[in-house]
Amino acid sequence: MSLKDNAHVFPYCPFCRAGMGVRLEGGTERPACPECGFVQYLNPAPGAAVIIRRGKKVCLVQRKFEPKKGMWTLPTGFMEWNEDAPLAAAREALEETGLVVKITRLHSVESGLLPPDIPVLVVFFQGKETGGQMVAGDDAAAVGFFDLDDLPGPIAFASHLKTLNSLGKEIL
């Protein structure tokens, strides 16, 4: 995607309010302020997700909001500024499912796209329930444990579908 078509490029410098230009840096064109020198680095947004199992079943949440409202994902969300990935995964699990989860191991790392146009990097973990009570919260419309061959609905993101498939059963 060219900078011209990228809706995430600042039209004006957030520091000095001059109109943003373009600077060539290491062979890559980047939005840059001609007045104060601010450079806007555009990077994928990091997120974390967690695989929680009850026997062969896996915990999925239904999205309450767009994008992909009504579709299903593993508990997931963006990392906050001061979090590492396991902390973000456990926090999102608690917020969306009501379950207290201990992150046990790294499962996989996938690139993806949050519609319409945000590239993301999602760190998938495995986790174990240690407490809490299952209730759909935050941006989840519903939560439950489901067999991999009897999912409640379509999976919202390709990275999540790939991860579910990696659990041993091909879906879709």
- The site for Zn ion, by CB under 5 A, has a size of 8
Given the structure tokens 């990275």, which residue do they identify?
A: 159
Note whether 13 binds Zn ion by CB under 5 A. yes
Shortest Cβ distance from residue 88 to Zn ion (Å)? 31
Pairing state of beta strands 118-132 and 45-54? parallel
Does the footprint of Zn ion cover residue 38 (CB under 5 A)?
A: yes
Q: How far apart are CB 16 and Zn ion at their closest, in Å? A: 3
**Interface with Zn ion, residue 123, by CB under 5 A:** no
The reply to whether omega before 116 is within 30° of 0 (cis) is: yes
Quote the Cα angle for 156-116-152, to 5°: 10
Residue span binding Zn ion (CB under 5 A) among the ranges 11-19, 82-90, 115-123, 153-161: 11-19
The tokens for 121 are: 């990097």
Amino acid identity of 68? Answer: K
Answer for which of 10, 21, 29, 36 binds Zn ion (CB under 5 A) is 36
Rule CB under 5 A: is residue 1 a binding residue for Zn ion? Answer: no
If one asks whether residue 146 binds Zn ion (CB under 5 A), the answer comes out as: no
22 binds Zn ion (CB under 5 A): no
- What is the rounded radius of gyration, in angstroms, for the C-alpha atoms of the chain? 19
The least CB distance from residue 3 to Zn ion, in Å, is 16
Q: Is 78 in the site for Zn ion (CB under 5 A)?
A: no
* Contacting residues for 139 by C-beta, under 8 A, at least 6 apart: 63, 64, 65, 77, 95, 96
Q: How far is the CB of 20 from Zn ion (least distance, A)?
A: 8
CA pair distance 89, 54, nearest whole angstrom: 18
Binding site residues, Zn ion, CB under 5 A: 13, 15-16, 18, 33, 35-36, 38
